[in-house]
Amino acid sequence: MVNALAATNRFHYQLICPACGLVLDDDGFLLACPRPHAPALLTTRYSSRILQGNRRAPGLYRYQCWLPGRNRLAHSARTVTYQSRRLSSTLGLPHLWITFSGYWPERGATLETATFKELEVGGVLSRMPRHGFRALVVASAGNTAAAFANASSENDIPCLIVVPASGMEKMRFAHRLKPCIKIISLTGGAAYSDAISLADRIAQQDGFVGEGGVKNVGRRDGIATAVLNAVETMGRLPDYYFQAIGSGAGAIAAHEAAKRLVEDSRFGRALPRLMLGQNTPFTPIYDSWKTGRRDFIEADPDTARALTKKILATVLSNQRPPYSTVGGVFDVLRESQGDMFAVDNQEVLQAMELFERCEGIDIEPAAGVALAALMRAANSGQIGPDAIVLLHITGGGVAKRASERALFSTPPDLELSLDGLGTDGVLEKACGLFAEQNTLVGPRPQAASLTATAGQGMFRNKVIVRFHVDRP
């Protein structure tokens, strides 16, 4: 593909550490503050404090002013927001708005893999440079894998994806993937946490770069475009924001976007209350939040793995969410005066059926968790009938897409059994998937080679640290 990524030629943001206030220039891969302190999620500070939507830009690049990076992907899509009629009437919420991040062309939602993960991928791939690595390494429970595979293939970006075998059902595409995409499937009852662990090990190998998950500002600011779309459509910030969470990236992104919009001042002065759902019996964030403390309640890996197999919304199976991290889930729930909900599989199924009956489109189980949480809140009186509510449907139209498109199932390039992940040769097999492709262009950025120098930047009265990658 020629010029799949077109440079915007504008460095319009910097990274801020919320723990120590350090300001950093971005190299496209930076995931953490270099100073020694408690873990914290870097955030972006943009030169534009006003949301300036570009109506001529495609997809999520309408909001380029609040997206990191200088590149644009080919075939970028975006979400759609509309005011509900039948569902709002059924729930007794006349001011219910729905942000639909999925496949629903008739409504204007054209996310090819039918989930909001495409927004995350757009932010990540637009942020990173096109050189200095052999392959981007991504761990996923399924939806993220599909989104990265699809976008990376379209844009000729080498990507190594690690996914449990249960997530392979998501790997169906309207086109065959290019050779720059390699997929490792973990068998033998492996869970999402096992995929994360292996991906972390691979990312330490020469030429490979970890995508970073929720730590990647590109991922969070990509998701945030769904909120920007909603607020632009609604003309104001909602009182309540409902979404299901696994890692919490979507909730953190929504809160970060809301803070920028409050600073903009045209859409309201109050932050939306985050109302977040998890699927019982695997509810680590819910359990931790209900203690009222920052400490994260972590189950032992075997117990957690068994619990994740019992939930309908399997994509919500992250065992290590950034709950206690500075700027993480605990902080955004507290700052927004939000709350957590735990809903069972039966409630999820009922919510999915209700949405399709009222709105005319199928939704994914994770979206069903969000709607079930909303139903619980409405029925209990936790939110009043006059409240302005935004429900984020983070995945939908999967069945519609399958009925309208010819889809190719994609087999894995390598299968690894759970009981053999710790054995010698696993990393060699994984990295060997790219041995026949000379995809490394320039050296991989190494954290150890970063040197700091003080300098001037676009934000006054701040100490700005610029990081330069030493290249041979």
Instruction: Select the more confidently predicted residue: 457 or 40.
Output: 40
User: What pLDDT, on a 0 to 100 scale, did the predictor assign at position 132?
Assistant: 78
Indicate whether 7 pLDDT > 90: no
Structure tokens at 49: 């404090």
Indicate whether 395 pLDDT > 60: yes
Spatial separation of the C-alpha atoms in residues 164 and 191, rounded to whole Å: 6
Indicate whether 452 pLDDT > 70: no
Contacts of 249 (CB under 8 A, 6+ apart): 120, 213, 214, 219, 220, 223
User: What pLDDT, on a 0 to 100 scale, did the predictor assign at position 275?
Assistant: 98
User: What pLDDT, on a 0 to 100 scale, did the predictor assign at position 444?
Assistant: 40
Q: Domain residues for 347?
A: 80-110+233-403
Average pLDDT over residues 440-463: 35
Indicate whether 443 pLDDT > 60: no
Residue among 423, 272, 400, 243 nearest 338 (CA): 272
Any idea what the CATH number is for the domain that residue 243 is in?
Answer: 3.40.50.1100
Q: Is residue 150 part of a domain?
A: no
Q: Is residue 290 part of a domain?
A: yes
Q: Is residue 71 part of a domain?
A: no
Q: Is residue 129 part of a domain?
A: no
Q: Is residue 379 part of a domain?
A: yes
* Structural domains in the chain (count): 1
Residue 187 forms beta bridges with which residues? 417
Contacts of 299 (CB under 8 A, 6+ apart): 284, 307, 319
Q: Is residue 372 part of a domain?
A: yes
Q: Is residue 195 part of a domain?
A: no
- Dihedral of CA atoms 139, 140, 144, 150 in degrees, nearest 10, equals 70
Indicate whether 448 pLDDT > 80: no
Structure tokens at 409: 């199932």
Q: Which residue has the tokens 């002013």?
A: 65
Q: Is residue 170 part of a domain?
A: no
Structure tokens at 188: 């033998």
Give residue-wise pLDDT tens across range 26-72: 999 999 999 999 999 999 999 999 999 898 898 899 999 999 988 89
User: What pLDDT, on a 0 to 100 scale, did the predictor assign at position 436?
Assistant: 64
